[in-house]
């Protein structure tokens, strides 16, 4: 293995720490994703252990939220779905950011400025289609890492596009 490949493998392991129960599953995921363009990434269930997926998605049983720059349409998220986090995690992320939008962006794996000056919290009242992120989603950026966590370590999943009537929207920082 070349030095460049070793560095990529080490970076992958660092970004996905705690996702895989053993090196075999980590290697399976790494090989499934390395060099693959965004639009061709496989479904996460093809390289994640079923028990991990089940346990991960169960974290969303007590409510689902997202933090975004604003909502100005009748639907939240693109037709292919949008990223969300467990409601309790949203509470912790907001508290951890200490009112700093740039810290919030970092935790969520976003680029500086993505949330603007007045981010909003969207609590999804009737979510549908909860699933592991594949990295093919419209919101997946260059910071996306496999395994259901942002590059900032926040637990994430994807749900179907949400009607505005199925959401409670409020400012993140009051």
pLDDT digits (tens, 9 = 90+) for 132-168: 999 999 989 999 999 999 999 999 999 999 999 999 9
pLDDT of residue 106: 95
pLDDT of residue 137: 94
In contact, 69 and 119? CB cutoff 8 Å: yes
| Residue 1 pLDDT exceeds 60 | no
pLDDT digits (tens, 9 = 90+) for 10-52: 888 888 887 888 888 888 888 888 888 999 999 999 999 999 9
Is residue 171 exposed (0-12), middle (13-18) or buried (19+ Cβ within 10 Å)?
exposed
Provide the 10 A C-beta neighbour count for residue 45: 13
pLDDT of residue 81: 92
Of the two residues 8 and 60, the one the predictor is more confident about is: 60
Of the two residues 10 and 99, the one the predictor is more confident about is: 99
Confidence of residue 111 (pLDDT cuts 50, 70, 90): very high
Domain-wise residue ranges, the chain: 3-171
Indicate the DSSP class of residue 43: P
């Amino acid at each position: 293995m070349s030095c460049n490949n070793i560095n990529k493998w080490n970076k992958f392991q660092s970004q996905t720490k705690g996702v895989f129960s053993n090196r075999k599953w980590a290697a399976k995921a790494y090989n499934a994703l390395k060099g693959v363009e965004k639009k061709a990434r496989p479904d996460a269930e093809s390289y994640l252990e079923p028990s991990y997926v089940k346990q991960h998605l169960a974290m969303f049983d007590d409510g689902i939220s997202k933090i975004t720059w604003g909502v100005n349409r009748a639907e939240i998220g693109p037709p292919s779905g949008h990223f969300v986090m467990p409601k309790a995690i949203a509470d912790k992320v907001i508290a951890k950011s200490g009112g700093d939008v740039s810290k919030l962006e970092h935790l969520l794996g976003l680029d500086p400025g993505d949330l603007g000056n007045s981010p909003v919290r969207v609590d999804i009242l009737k979510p549908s289609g909860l699933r592991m992120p594949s990295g093919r989603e419209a919101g997946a950026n260059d910071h996306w890492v496999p395994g259901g966590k942002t590059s900032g370590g926040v637990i994430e999943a994807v749900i179907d596009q949400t009607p505005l009537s199925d959401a409670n929207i409020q400012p993140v920082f009051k």
